[in-house]
Structure 1
Amino acid sequence: MILVTGATGTIGSELVRQLEARGAAVRGMTRKPHESFVQGDFDDPDSLRKAIAGVDTVFVLTAPGPWVPAHDRALVEAAVDGGVQKIVKLSAIGSTDEEMPGNWHAAGERAVRDSGLAWTILRPAGFASNVLRWMPAIQAGQPIPNQTGAGRHAFVDPRDVAAVAAEALLSDHHDQTYTLTGPELLSVPDQVAVLSDVLGSPLSVVDVPPDVYAEQLRAAGLDEAVVTVAVRGAELIRSGGEETITDDVERVLGRPAQTFRKWARAYFA
C-alpha cells in the first residue's frame, strides 16, 4: 500500500492516477475532507498515524512554506513508528543548504535520509503548468507578467515528475537524489512565444520589477516568508543563476523529458 500525501495537488493527483493505472494499491491523503482520500494533517499526529496504518511506502509532498521542515519531520516520524519501509520525498531544485533562509526542503531531506528507511529524493525544476497562472491575463487580452526578465529555466512537465515518482515508489531507486528538469532552457518571453503559437493568438509580455512583484504577492495575502522566497527565486532566475539541465528524467524513465511545447499542446487541447 502506497500513501500519497498532497493527493489533490498538481503532482499528487497525477501520481495517484499513474499508480492506479499500473495496478498499485494507493491511498491518497489530503488535509481537507475528500470523498476518495483519507484526511490527514501534518500538525495532527493522530491523523498521520491513522493515514499510515497498513502502509509500507510513503510519498511525502508538503505545501511550500516555512512549515515544510516540521511537516516533513512529522510524517517521517509517523512513517518510522508505523513500520513503513520506503519513503520518497518531493523536494525542489537546489535544496542543499539548510542554512540558506527560505530553503525549506533541506531539513526535510535530511530527516528522510536519516530515517533509516529506504529513500529517494526528487528535486524538480519549476513546473511547466505554472504558466496557468497567466490564464486571467490571457483571457483578458492583457500582457503576461514577467518577474524573471530574460533569465532562463528548464521547466519540467508535471507528468514527468509524477512518472519518476511512480518509478521510485514501485522500483529500487534507494538512496538516490534526482534533479528533474525539462530538456531546454526557456525564458518567460520564450514560453509566451510557444503559447502564442499553440493558441494561435499573439501574446505580449510586460516586465515586473522585484519590488512590484513583492507588493503584488503581499496584496494577494501571502505570508511574508513566502513573499521573500518567491522574490528571491525570481531574482535568481533573472540573474541567470538557475540554468540547470539534467538527464535524470531520462535515466529513470528511459525516455527524454517532455518539452514545454508538448505540455502546452496537450493541456490546451
Structure 2
Amino acid sequence: MILITGATGTIGSEVLRRIAARGEAVRALTRDPSRARTPPGVEVVAGDFDDPASLERAVSGVDGVFLVAPGGPSTERYDLAVLAAARSAGVRKVVKLSSIGADATDDHWHRTGEQAVRAGGMSWTLLRPSAFAGNALQWAAAVRADEPVPNMTGTAAQGVIDPRDIAEVAVEALVSAKHEGQTYTLTGPELLSFPDQIARLEAALGRTIKTVDVPLDVVREQMLASGMDGEMVESRLRGLKIIRDGGNAVLTDGVERALGRPPTDFGAWVLDHLDAFVTN
C-alpha cells in the first residue's frame, strides 16, 4: 500500500492517477474526502497534520509514503508530523516532494523536512523540482479576457518543468528500489523567463498576449490585501527575489537520470493545455 499525501494537488493528483493505473494498492490522504476526485479503486482517508490520530490511521498498513507538504511556514510541521506517524507505523519508504534550492538557505521551507527524511531510518528519495509549467494556468483567465498577465519575475530564467515529469519520477521512486538514497533536482530542458513562456503561448495561440510588470512592493501590497498571512507573504517575496536574482537559473539532468529520457519541453506542455487559454 502506498499513501499519497497532498492527493488533490497538482503533483499529488497526477502521482495518484499514475500509481492507480499501474494497479498498485494506493490510499489518498486529504482533509476533506467528500471533495476528492480520485480514480476507481483508490482508498480515500481524512487526515490533518494537526491531528496525529488521523495520520496514524492514514499510515496504518502502508509500505511507502509520497510526502507533499503545503508550501509555507507550516511545511516543517507537516513534514515532521507525517514522518513521525510513518516511522511509528513501520513505513519502509518515503519520497518527499521538496523544492529546488532547498539546501541553499537555513530557513528554506523544506530544509528541516529533508533532514528529517534522511535521518528517519526509512529508505528515501528527495525530489527538488524547479518552477512548474502548470503555474502558467494562473494566467489563463487574463489571457482569455485579453487582460494583462502580471509579471513578478522580470526577465529572470528558470528551468521550467512539466508537472507530469515530476509525477513520473515520483512514481518510479515509489515503486522501484533503484532511486533510494537519491536527491533529484528536476528541471525542464531549457531556461525560460516569463517573457519566454509568454512568447511560446503567443506562438501557439497565434495572437499577442498583454503583460504588465509588477514590482515586489506592489506584490506585497496585493498579497496582504488578499488576506494572506504576513509570514507567508514575506516568505513568498524572498522566493521571488531569489528568482529575480538568478537563483533558479539552473538546468540539471535529473529527469534523464531518473527516467532515462529527456524532460518534456514547455512548448509541448502548452499544446497539451491550450484549451485553458482559449475563450469558448
Q: Partner of 1:235: helix, strand, or coil? A: helix
The answer on 1:261 being equivalent to 2:267 is: yes
Cα distance in structure 1, aligned partners of 2:270 and 2:226: 27
Quote the offset at 1:241 in angstroms.
2.3
What CA distance in whole angstroms lies between the structure 2 residues aligned with 1:151 and 1:187?
5
Match of 1:158 among 154, 163, 179: 163
Letter in 2 for 1:114: A
- Give the equivalent residue in structure 2 for 1:137: 142
Kept after mapping to 2: 8 A contact 1:214/1:227: yes
Amino acid at match of 1:70: R
Deviation at 1:131, TM superposition (A): 0.9
Structure 1 residue runs of 5 or longer lacking an equivalent are none
| SS across alignment from 2:57 | helix
Assess if the C-alpha contact under 8 Å between 2:30 and 2:46 holds in 1.
yes
TM-fit CA distance, 1:268: 1.7
Root-mean-square deviation (CA, aligned residues, Å) is 1.2
Cα distance, 1:201 vs structure 2: 2.2
Comparing 3-12 with 210-219, greater Cα deviation is found at 210-219
Pick from 52, 72, 78: which aligns with 1:65?
Answer: 72
Letter in 1 for 2:32: K
Q: 1:48 aligns with which of 51, 55, 61?
A: 55
Q: Deviations over 1:79-102 (max 9, x none)?
A: 0100100000000100015623xx
Q: Is the 8 A contact 1:192 1:204 kept in 2?
A: no
Task: Report the Cα offset of residue 200 of structure 1.
Answer: 2.1
**2:23 match:** 23
Partner of 2:256: 250
Q: CA deviation at 1:137?
A: 1.3
1:84 and 2:91 are equivalent in the alignment: yes
Shift of 1:229: 1.9
Among candidates 200, 204, 210, match of residue 206 of structure 2: 200
Moved over 2 A (4+): 33-36, 97-100
Hey, what does 2:197 align to over in structure 1? 191
- Equivalent-residue separation in structure 2 for 1:224 and 1:60 (angstroms): 26
For residue 225 of structure 1, give the secondary structure of its aligned residue in structure 2. Answer: helix
Kept in 2: contact 1:153–1:243 (CA 8 A): yes
Q: In structure 1, what is the equivalent of residue 41 of structure 2?
A: none
Query: Bigger CA drift: 64-73 or 230-239?
Result: 230-239
- Amino acid in structure 2 at the alignment position of 1:233: G
Matched, 1:180 2:186: yes
CA–CA separation in structure 1 for the residues paired with 2:20 and 2:52: 27
Query: Distance in 2 between the 1:33 and 1:18 partners?
Result: 19
Contact map agreement 1:6 1:29 (CA 8 A) in 2? yes
Q: Deviations over 1:45-97 (max 9, x none)?
A: 00001011110100100111111111101111100100100000000100015
Q: Residue 125 of structure 2 is aligned with which of 116, 120, 124?
A: 120
**In 2, Cα distance between equivalents of 1:214 and 1:136:** 22
Is 1:74 aligned to residue 81 of structure 2?
yes
CA distance in structure 1 between the partners assigned to 2:238 and 2:204 by the alignment: 31
Could you tell me whether the CA contact under 8 Å between 2:130 and 2:248 is conserved in 1? no
Superimposed CA distance per residue, residues 141-163 of structure 1 (whole angstroms, 9 cap, x where no aligned partner): 11211011111001110000000
**1:255 partner amino acid:** R
Contact 2:11 2:163 in 1 (8 A): yes
Q: Percent identity?
A: 52
Instruction: Report how far residue 227 of structure 1 moved.
Output: 1.1
- Aligned equivalents of 1:262, 1:98: Cα separation in 2: 33
What TM-score do the two structures reach when normalised by structure 2?
0.92
Find the aligned partners of 1:88 and 1:242 in 2 and give their Cα distance.
23
